[in-house]
A = this chain, B = another copy of it.
Amino acid sequence: MDGECKVLIVGSIAIDDIETPFAKRKGVLGGAATYSSCAASHFAPTAIVGVVGDDFPPEHMELFQSRGIDTEGLQVVPGPTFRWECVYHANMQSRDTLSTKLGVFEEFSPRIPEKLRRCPFVLLGNIHPDLQRHVLAQLEDPLVIAADTMNFWIRGAAESLAELIRQVNLLFLNDEEARELTGEANLTRAADRIHEMGPRMVMTKRGEHGATLHFDGEVCFIPPYPARVVRDPTGAGDTFAGGMIGRLASGGVVNRRSLRDAALCGTALASFSIEEFGPEHVARVSRTQLDERLAAIQSTVQDE
Residues of A whose CB lies within 8 Å of any CB of B are 21, 90-93, 179, 185-189, 192, 206, 208-210, 212, 218-221, 223-224, 226-228, 230, 256-257, 260, 299-301, 303-304
Contact = CB atoms under 8 A, between A and B. Distances in A.
B209 A91 contact: no
Given A208-B187, A209-B209, A230-B186, A223 B257 contact: no
Given A90-B185, A210-B210, A256-B303, 10 more contacts: A91-B179, A92-B185, A186-B230, A188-B228, A206-B209, A219-B226, A221-B223, A221-B226, A257-B304, A301-B301
A148 B300 CA distance: 23
12 contacts: A21-B185, A91-B179, A93-B185, A189-B228, A206-B209, A210-B210, A219-B300, A220-B301, A221-B300, A223-B301, A256-B304, A260-B303
Contacts of A93: 185
Contacts of A230: 186
A138 to B, nearest CB: 36
Which of A210, A221, A301 has the largest number of chain B CB atoms within 10 A? Answer: A221
A185 B91 contact: yes
Contacts of A223: 221, 223, 301
Number of this chain's copies in the assembly equals 2
Contacts of A179: 91
B186 A228 contact: yes
Q: Which 5 A-B pairs have the closest CB atoms?
A: A209-B209, A221-B223, A221-B300, A301-B301, A219-B226
A300 B223 CA distance: 10
Given A186-B227, A226-B188, A300 B208 contact: no
Contacts of A260: 303
Contacts of A186: 92, 227-228, 230
Contacts of A299: 218
Contacts of A303: 256-257, 260
A226 B217 CA distance: 11
A93 B185 CA distance: 9
Contacts of A256: 303-304
A96 to B, nearest CB: 16
